[in-house]
Amino acid sequence: MRHTLPIAPQFYVTAPQPCPYLDGRMERKLFTALQGDQAERLNDSLSKQGFRRSQNVLYRPSCAECSACLSARIRVADFKPSRTHRRTLKRNADLRRNPTSPWATEDQYNLFRRYLDSRHADGGMADMDVFEFAAMIEETPIRSRVVEYTRPPEPDETGRQLIAVCLTDILDDGLSMVYSFYDPAYTHLSLGTWIILDHIEIARTAGLPYVYLGYWVPGSRKMGYKAQFDALEIFKSGRWQPIGKPEDHIASLHPLSVDPIAEQVARISLPDGLTTRS
């Protein structure tokens, strides 16, 4: 008889490299592999502790002299759309949602390229080819969905047109928005905001308490938009807490010291049956 034993996750640290969010800073990540029968339980557990998934890896910022990146999530039951959000919902009432399996398509990649070329031409993903894109979408050891959004056809078009996409993980306590992109020709529709609002509705319908948005970075123009959502929590000082006033977090961008990696790993809580190795 063959038995499968739990694999203890091993944690590593990346080499420092320029931060994509704040000029003049260096970023470093603490990460572990998602593998084996316990991948889904590990993803659920670490997502609640500020980690994010990228393909078969879970990571969390662990910069030597900065703690700006803060994992953010929305409390679905307490969320109330603002007047601006209600206008965004109304503008996009004719969009149709289509959840699919995590399988990359040519239409998705073409949309992804237009989005990157318009919004992030100098970013770390700018050179991704179709094979790397497929890996981003398809290499997932957990429950994931690709949520496509289509618009009605224009008079000279046939069929509905793909306008936005979100790669979404299904956690035991919510939805994690891994990566989203949209047609830059429709910036006036506030599609980035719309995708988040729709995921709040998906989570509400499914009875899931949270929507995980990724990292909020105070002082970063690229990541500051997340603070506009009501009922937002951030993972800070080892716990989830209401964001409060965004400007109050600026002072913590340069802590006097950052705990050694071994101490950070020792404080990570893992599912029963797994122990950490660093």
Query: How confident is residue 3, by pLDDT bands cut at 50, 70 and 90?
Result: very low
Summarised one tens digit per residue, pLDDT across range 45-84 is 999 999 999 999 999 998 887 888 899 999 999 999 999 9
pTM: 0.90
List, in sequence order, the alpha helices (H) in the chain: 39-47, 83-91, 106-119, 130-138, 191-206, 261-266
What CATH superfamily classification does 72-249 receive? Gcn5-related N-acetyltransferase (GNAT) (3.40.630.30)
Q: Return the percentage of the chain with pLDDT > 90, whole number.
A: 60
Q: Closest Cα to residue 99, out of 160, 149, 65?
A: 149
Summarised one tens digit per residue, pLDDT across range 107-150 is 999 999 999 888 765 666 667 899 999 999 999 999 999 999 99
**267 half-sphere exposure, CB direction, 13 A CA radius:** 11
Query: How confident is residue 273, by pLDDT bands cut at 50, 70 and 90?
Result: low
Q: How do the domains of the chain map onto residue ranges? A: 11-70+252-266, 72-249
Q: Closest Cα to residue 191, out of 243, 118, 262?
A: 118
Summarised one tens digit per residue, pLDDT across range 188-247 is 999 999 999 999 999 999 999 999 999 998 877 777 788 889 999 999 888 999 998 887
